[in-house]
Chain A
Amino acid sequence: SQQGEEDPQALSIQEGENATMNCSYKTSINNLQWYRQNSGRGLVHLILIRSNEREKHSGRLRVTLDTSKKSSSLLITASRAADTASYFCATLGGTDKLIFGTGTRLQVFP
């Protein structure tokens, strides 16, 4: 079963623009994580935000979490062509297993 739903499903922007992806989930969580996947490759962990945190930064990435709305957003600032990939949110609830959303495909044009 999918826990998270990402929005939009696909996003196309120019280099230098910011990219924002949203994730909604259904049940209470321990933490929420964002991953990146280049085409045909494994996933790479980007950032983890705990349920008692509201915002977290890592380089050009900014993640917010609103547990009252069961939603999170990932902002990539000053996008580069190399940021082209699929991005997934994943939630960790009461058991030690991540449940992934359906992903957002980001295309950054040079």
Chain B
Amino acid sequence: DGGITQSPKYLFRKEGQNVTLSCEQNLNHDAMYWYRQDPGQGLRLIYYSQIVNDFQKGDIAEGYSVSREKKESFPLTVTSAQKNPTAFYLCASSAGIRYGYTFGSGTRLTVV
């Protein structure tokens, strides 16, 4: 079955550490997205990529980095520069503007 796989489901980070969240899709979608969700604030766009080897900053890119070396994969690194990383992170992909997004099941990141 086609879909998006995010891993891990839960992640704990110590202060000062970088961590990488995985997002893999087998839907053959060109576009992929990372959103952050905090309680009561809806989803905010971190980074997005419309084609391999290209990506753009979203509204809250500071403290995050991404890569898009393969069509299927769009990993997100939460760096130590992100001062408040505790949140629920959602990855999505899209076949184009006429279609809805397909979301993964999310990664819950907690700073300990």
Contacts and interface: CB of A to CB of B under 8 A. Distances in A.
Interface in B5-64: 6, 31, 33, 35, 40-45, 48, 50, 58-59
B90 A1 contact: no
Contacts of A1: 59
Nearest to B42: A102
**What is the predominant secondary structure among interface residues of chain B facing chain A?**
strand
A44 interface: yes
Interface residues of B, number: 31
Contacts of A100: 35, 42-44
Contacts of A42: 4, 6, 90, 103-106
B2 interface: no
A106 to B, nearest CB: 15
